[in-house]
Amino acid sequence: MSASNRLHDIHPGPTRTTRWVIVGVIGALFLIPIVAMIEFTLRKGLGGGYDFSRWAAVFGGQLTGEYKPIFTGLGNSLILAVATVAVMLVLLVPTMVLVRIRFPQLQRVLEFVCLLPITIPAIVIVVGLAPVYSVIARMFGSGVWTLAFAYGVIVLPYAYRSIQTNLAAVDVVTLSEAARSLGAGWPTILLRIVVPNIRRGLLAASFISVAVVLGEYTIAALLNRVNLQTSLVIVSKADPFVSIIFALLALVFAFVLLLAIGRIGRSPRQKASS
């Protein structure tokens, strides 16, 4: 510990004061819009002053009629979140494990494909998705859950990174060979050996997928589907206040989800160092 005292002098990082000044100033600037949203929802009409009547209306279940789209949208977004996580877990995870164990030479290709949606803007994919979805509507009907196929692509880069970090840290090849030598088949290896070992990565990938799906607007809007974000935009034209309340709630929800991801990701390292 005496060494760290000496090294403190040459530490290239900021001093305590510098750090808190930078964090404080930038943090405060970034809080302004959030505070403004809260202030906006508390306004008491044109007369001035503040009250909680709008929040009371939202939580008291007094929203009917024109606010109905929000609840439809919220319900749809929750269905889509579950369906997207299912698509991601069923299609991406076995492929990643298989590539890791059996086809390591395909690792770079898989990574390239999974990160591709960053390069191809959602607005471009939508142009080509419209014809694809007219076929899907004929096959599966036009249920809102079908949008999960498109969302599975959107969440690919985030989900891939979360899982890959975890997968790389586990010696899956040796584990699978050990299981194999004890007579395990492929489903057993995947479900009982690999999945329990990478469940942190899977959980983080699922959470980030949920957050991305709840915030998605582009694809739903242009394919004329109703989700949380499109319904908020529609309702905001008539009543901006309630839309902002829901936007704030969604924001807090996403923040808690991501905070949880951080905790999930960190706990093993904490254990290892103690």
Name which of residues 5 to 44 contact other proteins (CB under 8 A). Answer: 7, 9-14, 18-19, 22-23, 26, 30, 32-37, 39-40
Coil/strand/helix, residue 222 = helix
- When binding is defined by CB under 8 A, the residue of 55, 71, 145, 186 that contacts other proteins is 186
Is the CB of 31 or the CB of 56 nearer to other proteins? 31
Radius of gyration of the chain (CA): 23
At closest approach, how far in Å is the CB of 175 from other proteins?
A: 7
Is the CB of 64 or the CB of 272 nearer to other proteins? 272
DSSP 8-state assignment for residue 48: -
CA distance 192 to 182: 13
Of the listed pieces 49-57, 62-70, 72-80, 152-160, which binds other proteins according to CB under 8 A? 152-160
Query: How many residues line the site for other proteins (CB under 8 A)?
Result: 106
Regarding 193 and contact with other proteins (CB under 8 A), the answer is yes
For residue 225, give the amino acid letter.
Answer: R
- When binding is defined by CB under 8 A, the residue of 53, 72, 188, 197 that contacts other proteins is 197
Is the CB of 64 or the CB of 273 nearer to other proteins? 273
Regarding 50 and contact with other proteins (CB under 8 A), the answer is no
For the chain, the distance separating the N- and C-terminal CA atoms, rounded to the nearest angstrom, is 16
Residues 109-148 that bind other proteins (CB under 8 A): 113, 116-132
At closest approach, how far in Å is the CB of 94 from other proteins?
A: 6
At closest approach, how far in Å is the CB of 248 from other proteins?
A: 8
CA angle 245, 246, 248 (to 5 degrees): 65
DSSP 8-state assignment for residue 121: -
| φ, ψ for residue 50, nearest 5 deg | -130, 150
Pull the structure tokens for residue 21: 């000044």
CA distance 152 to 108: 20
Regarding 255 and contact with other proteins (CB under 8 A), the answer is yes
- When binding is defined by CB under 8 A, the residue of 208, 226, 235, 264 that contacts other proteins is 208
| φ, ψ for residue 87, nearest 5 deg | -60, -45
Residues 71-90 that bind other proteins (CB under 8 A): 87, 90
At closest approach, how far in Å is the CB of 242 from other proteins?
A: 11
Please answer whether residues 93 and 152 qualify as being in contact, where contact means their C-beta atoms are separated by less than 8 angstroms: no
Residues 91-110 that bind other proteins (CB under 8 A): 91-92, 94-95, 98-99, 101-106
For residue 39, give the amino acid letter.
Answer: E
Regarding 217 and contact with other proteins (CB under 8 A), the answer is yes
Pull the structure tokens for residue 249: 């709630």
**Of 50, 29, 32, whose CA–CA distance to 41 is shortest?**
50
The residues that bridge with 43 in the sheet, in sequence order, are 50
At closest approach, how far in Å is the CB of 117 from other proteins?
A: 7
- When binding is defined by CB under 8 A, the residue of 75, 188, 218, 239 that contacts other proteins is 218
